[in-house]
Amino acid sequence: MSFELTGNQGDISARREKMEAEIQHFRHRVGEKFPQADAAKIIEALDFMLKIHLPQKDRVDGRPFASHPLAVAAKVMELSDNPELAVAALTHDTVEDQSDRVFVERINRKYPDRDFVHLKIDETAREKYKDIFKTWSLREIKDKFGDQVKYYVENLTNHDFNSLAEDMGLSGDKKTDFINKLYAEHVEDLLNDPELFTLKLADLSTNINLRSLDQNGAKYQKLKRKYKSVIETILEKLKNLETNHLLYAKKDGITSELEKVYHEQYA
């Protein structure tokens, strides 16, 4: 039998229904903005993203996780006319968060007539086989959407800084600070590539607004510590953009948006 990953179909349907207006609006915008062939590829990525992310647990704000890559893709389409960036935005968290599901999609697609011994992919299996899942997930992204999209997704995928910190014996604030510094350096490296900069900027723009969280809660404080220095780095980078940069024409608007969020929630 084929590999299977179970999910609560009721939850999946409810999440889809909750997002339906957003999904249809996005599809309409794609059709207006891009030629037919490019639009078809983006819609293929949309359908793939929904299949992978709708079974995923909701975000801390109660929204379906799939609403995040959808919002990132919508933001990317405001910043760029590159259809591959829109595809990458839709799929940017598939490998990082749901590589086991992408792996299963690939195996079942490539070997539809093969009988497999059933493997229950629980948290233990995810940890044990995470390197295999990640590698094969990136292969699936490449096969479906091409080398360039795979390059974008691979670079946006965060490293497992948590496991590294634990293996170093770090805990508490020392662990948090170490992980945050590595994450900030990872983001800073991305900013050297204008297209990766665009993708990461769109990603962060949907994550840094913490208004839906309890300001006295642990999650709020954790994210504020994580993003504060990253926002400062991006603002500094925006000030020094060269005139031929992909984002130069839009930098004043981007800077204004970021500064507003920063002064209201991080300063």
Run of H or E including 248: none
Band the pLDDT of 246: cuts 50, 70, 90. very high
Neighbours of 195 (CB within 10 A): 20
Query: Cα-atom radius of gyration of the chain, to the nearest Å?
Result: 19
What does the DSSP 8-state code read for residue 188?
Answer: H
At 89-117, the pLDDT tens digits run 999 999 999 999 999 899 888 888 776 65
CATH 1.10.3210 range(s) for the chain read 1-157
Output the pLDDT for position 238.
96
Q: What is the distance, to the nearest Å, from the Cα of residue 139 to the centroid of all Cα atoms in its chain?
A: 17
> Does residue 119 sit in helix, strand or coil?
coil
At 10-29, the pLDDT tens digits run 899 999 999 999 999 999 99
Write out the CATH class of domain 1-157.
mainly alpha
With 70 as the cut, is the pLDDT of residue 119 above it?
A: no
Run of H or E including 63: none
With 90 as the cut, is the pLDDT of residue 125 above it?
A: no
Query: Residue range 35-49: average pLDDT?
Result: 98
The pTM of the whole model exceeds 0.75:
yes
Alpha-carbon gap, residue 63 to 257, rounded angstroms: 22
- b/e per residue, 26-41, with b = 16+ CB within 10 A? beebbeeebeeebbeb
- b/e per residue, 124-135, with b = 16+ CB within 10 A? eeeeebeeebbe
